[in-house]
Amino acid sequence: FFGRMKNEMFYCRSWQNVTIEEFINQIDEYMLWYRNKRIKMSLGALNPMEYRKNIGVVA
C-alpha cells in the first residue's frame, strides 16, 4: 500500500509549501479513494464499493 501511495500521490507533486495539516488531509483523502473508489483488477476491474454491491454485501 505505502509504495503504491508514494508513487500515485507523493512523488507526482511538490509538497514544498504544504502544511502538515494539509498533508494529513491529502493522505486521508487518498486512503478513502483507495479503499472505496480505486479500480482493482483483482475485483474484476471494479472498485470495492461496486464489487460489494455486485455480490450483495452492500445495498
Structure letter (DSSP) for residue 45: S
More confident residue, 1 or 39: 39
Q: What is the per-residue pLDDT for 37?
A: 86
More confident residue, 15 or 36: 15
Per-residue confidence band for 4, with pLDDT thresholds at 50, 70 and 90:
confident
Q: What is the pLDDT of residues 25-59, one digit of tens each?
A: 999 999 999 888 889 899 999 988 899 899 988 76
pTM of the model: 0.70
Question: How far is it, in rounded angstroms, from Cα 30 to Cα 20?
Answer: 15
